[in-house]
Amino acid sequence: MRQHNDHPTESTGGSQRASLGPVGPVASQANWAVPDVRLVQRLQTAAGNAAVTDLLTHPPTVGLTLQRRPADVGATPALTLKSGWGFLAILATPWDHLQTALRDYASLKDDQYAARAAVLKRLPVLITDWELHHNVGTAALTAEEKAKVAAIVTLRQLIADEKRELAVLAAGVDEATQAVKAGRFKGDPLLEQVMVGALTVGLGNSGLYVTKLQQALADMPYLAVDKVSGTFDADTQAAVKRFQRANALGETGTVDQATMSRLEGGFRGHAVEKQLAQAPKIGPKSSAGQFAWGSAPTQLGVGTRVLGPDEQTAAKEAVKTAQVAGPGGVLPTFVNDVGPGTYESRLQTLVLGLVDRQFNRLARGKAVERTKPDALFDWAHLDAVAAKSKAATDAVFGKFATGPPLAHGVSIHDAWDTKVLELQDVSVQDTSATWRVNKLLTGNADVKALDREHGAIQGRGPEKAIVDRVRTAVIVAKRDKLLEIHKAWPAFASAGVVNIQRFKAATALANRDEMWKLFHTVVHEYLHTLEHSRYRAYQTKLGQQEGSFTLREGVVEYFTHTVLDGVAYDDPLRVAVEGPFHDPLTKHPIPPYGGYAERTSAEKLAGLVGARNVMAAFFLGDVEKIGGKG
């Protein structure tokens, strides 16, 4: 990271190592009157570091900051400065305790927010212990003790700065408005600071945010995948320089705003993922179906890596859709009544309304339309659209897995007919109504917002009891509508078969829209049929909000966007998809594809473990590559 302009280069007996800190000169203390998004440089090793020795033995310099370089801990001799206890220093003195705490802080990673806060809480107590022992303020002090007092003045300011930084970071970021747009970097407070130009990342920095930068460089690829370590080292610095050179940026070797912006931009359109899926040394899979576990060509595993314990934990957290602990490491506190009403009353009212809206949008009048043959799309055209969807998908992921040709009566079924047949069983009616309500409870954006407002975690104690009661009440009140929604759901995949609806719209213009929506939807549902059985078994074991929703729908959505972002919407494709509704004089605007919001969680997972790891898990069943266990 860039040095402060007013901070002299330190002599450490080794190479100069920079650390996370503000861009440009250190801000005056007046600038810290309110929490600032800029972050002061990390406290550095207390043992044997020349800069720390200067800090502890000389009056503070204007703007002087300590740097935290975990790699230096234990690599250099201990400080010779003692607390005044002379030869009794073989015992732990107050000054020794203070130095130990500084070493503890120096050893932490930048994004270990809770642990950093705990050490910062200890430091003032240790400072007071030393001051009381030496009667600071009332006794005459030696020159050595005066130097320590001066050092402590600066240390206290550094502690205050660090606490301000943590307060800013603990607030997290609003993913809807943050500068970072690429899903893999979303929600990371430190990377957001880099994106807005508040800090840079360079040698010596460590933490999962560095892992994300390294993994992005590896996916592009500018860094060997086995160099992804979570610590910004010389290999990472060289990779950053290669990336900067390729993008006509200054070769600083640090990730600054310009570098972060260019790096982040490279993952907005999924071109990187499309390239990673190609495995150039092998051809498309020769037969339909998945590779038996462990039998896939080794080329499909190139670019994957084994996860360390911290990465496994982080991967499991990334896919959760329930509220999780914030940067401070604390889960939200449930507040049942926040003013407008209790959590239970508001949740029940909300979900009842959502069922009504879904019914009106998807199912109202559809049973009558099914009785009118001219109200349904022709199967020959639907098969043609599905074939284009499959071809687009296989062009990207066909080396990992393929399915049989999509054709009516074989691998494409009528979704309405399928559900009508299934719902003849009363027990299936019960499970289907429950399924529809659960999707609203665990996946709807308005429900998630309500959970955040109340600090509710649906699987936790009192909240779970409330959610269970609400679920039951909604099913009792809306059972008939829920079953009609289930029959009219636009599409789904089951047992390797894609199920789609056939309802026509009122005009040719609207039907062109419907055909493009079908093209997009079949890509999504066809990908579901390619999910490896070992992956399916793993994600099914997880609770909906504990990762199952993200791994089931979010990952498929991530891959759907990877396919669709690379589609060339040329004239032949337009003729095939729009079929009898095609107008050669009109270039129909392609409707945007949205899909499940859990795609962002899936991309966060890829940002931590790598896009190839996610592909290996989903298509090949190697769930260990995403922190799972088969």
Q: Domain containing 210 — which CATH number?
A: 1.10.101.10
Banded pLDDT at 115 (limits 50, 70, 90): confident
| pLDDT at residue 367, rounded to an integer | 95
* 3-state class percentages of the chain: helix first, strand second, coil last, to nearest 5: 55, 5, 40
> Is 9 part of any domain?
no
Q: Please, are residues 410 and 307 in contact by the beta-carbon 8 Å criterion?
A: no
Q: What is the mean pLDDT of residues 519-528?
A: 98
Say if residue 166 is in the same domain as residue 203: no
Residues 349 and 428 in one domain: yes
Mean local confidence (pLDDT), 373-383 = 94
Q: What pLDDT digit, counting tens, does each position of 209-264 carry?
A: 999 999 999 999 999 999 999 999 999 999 999 999 999 999 999 999 999 999 99
Q: Does one domain contain both 91 and 223?
A: no
Asked if 460 and 591 sit in the same domain, the reply is yes
Same domain, 486 and 354: yes
Q: What pairs with residue 22 in β-bridges?
A: 199
405/509 same-domain check: yes
Of 428 and 58, the structure prediction assigns the larger pLDDT to: 428
Which of 296, 298, 309, 302 minimizes the C-alpha distance to 224?
A: 302
Among candidate residues 170, 200, 216, the one where a domain is terminated: 170
Number of helices (H), then strands (E), belonging to the chain: the values are 24, 5
Residue 324 lies in a domain: no
Q: Is the pLDDT of residue 26 over 60?
A: no
Locate 608 and state its tokens: 């931590």
Mean pLDDT of 556-569: 97
Considering the domain architecture, whether residues 454 and 395 belong to the same structural domain is answered as: yes
Q: What is the mean predicted confidence (pLDDT) over 389-418?
A: 96
Q: Helix, strand or coil for residue 412?
A: strand
| Omega within 30 of 0 (cis) for the link into 221 | yes
Do 254 and 166 belong together in one domain? no
Q: Indicate whether 499 and 383 sit together in one domain.
A: yes
The pTM assigned to this predicted structure is 0.82
311 in a domain, yes or no? no
The tens digit of pLDDT for each residue in 598-619 reads 999 999 999 999 999 999 999 9
pLDDT at 329: 64
240 domain residue, yes or no: yes
| Domain shared by 253 and 152, yes or no | no
Higher per-residue confidence, 429 vs 103? 429
Residue 25 has pLDDT above 80, yes or no: no
Give exposure, 560-583, as e/b (b: 16+ Cβ within 10 Å): bbbbbebbeeeeeebebbbbebbe
Span of 14-18, 216-220, 307-311 with lowest mean pLDDT? 14-18
pLDDT of residue 327: 62
Indicate the pLDDT class of residue 331, thresholds 50, 70 and 90: confident
For residues 617 and 106, what is the distance between their CA atoms, to the nearest angstrom? 36
Is 60 exceeded by the pLDDT of residue 51?
no
For residues 133 and 93, what is the distance between their CA atoms, to the nearest angstrom? 10
304-316 average pLDDT score: 94
pLDDT of residue 354: 98
List pLDDT tens digits, range 144-159: 788 778 778 878 877 8
Would you call 373 exposed, middle or buried from its count of C-beta atoms within 10 A (0-12, 13-18, 19+)?
exposed
Is 316 inside a domain boundary?
no
Contact (Cβ atoms closer than 8 angstroms) between residue 581 and residue 512: yes
pLDDT greater at residue 92 or residue 333: 333
Is 548 contained in some domain? no
Amino acid (one-letter) located at 118: A
Single-letter code of the amino acid located at 612:
R
Range of weakest confidence among 184-193, 319-328, 420-429: 319-328
Q: Quote the pLDDT of residue 98.
A: 83
SS3 letters across 155-198: HHHHHHHHHHHHHHHHCCCCCCCCCCCCHHHCCCHHHHHHHCCC
Q: Which range, 26-30, 85-89, 209-213, has the best average confidence (pLDDT)? A: 209-213
Q: Give pairs for 356-363: CB < 8 Å, separation 24+.
A: 356/478, 356/481, 358/440, 358/485, 359/481, 359/484, 359/485, 362/485, 362/488, 362/489, 362/490, 363/481, 363/484, 363/485, 363/487, 363/488
d(CA 446, CA 453): 11
CA distances from 230 to 101, 172, 310, 608 (A): 23, 21, 10, 10
Q: What is the pLDDT of residue 339?
A: 85
Residue 538 lies in a domain: no
Section 51-65 average pLDDT: 39
Domains in the chain: how many in total?
Answer: 3
Per-residue pLDDT reduced to its tens digit, 482-523? 999 999 999 999 888 999 999 999 999 999 999 999 999 999
pLDDT in tens, 90-100: 456 888 888 78
Range of the domain at 377: 343-530+567-597
Residue 114 sits in the same domain as residue 210: no
pLDDT at 32 over 60: no
Query: Is the distance from CB of 589 to CB of 569 less than 8 angstroms?
Result: no
3-state secondary structure of 110: coil
Find the mean pLDDT for residues 364-369: 95
Mean pLDDT of the chain: 84
Cβ atoms of 555 and 400 closer than 8 Å: no
Q: Which of 64-68, 123-127, 161-165, 211-215 has the highest mean pLDDT?
A: 211-215
Over residues 388-406, mean pLDDT: 96
Check whether residue 425 and residue 390 sit in a common domain.
yes
Whether 336 is covered by a domain: the verdict is: no
Task: Indicate if the pLDDT at residue 585 is higher than 80.
Answer: yes
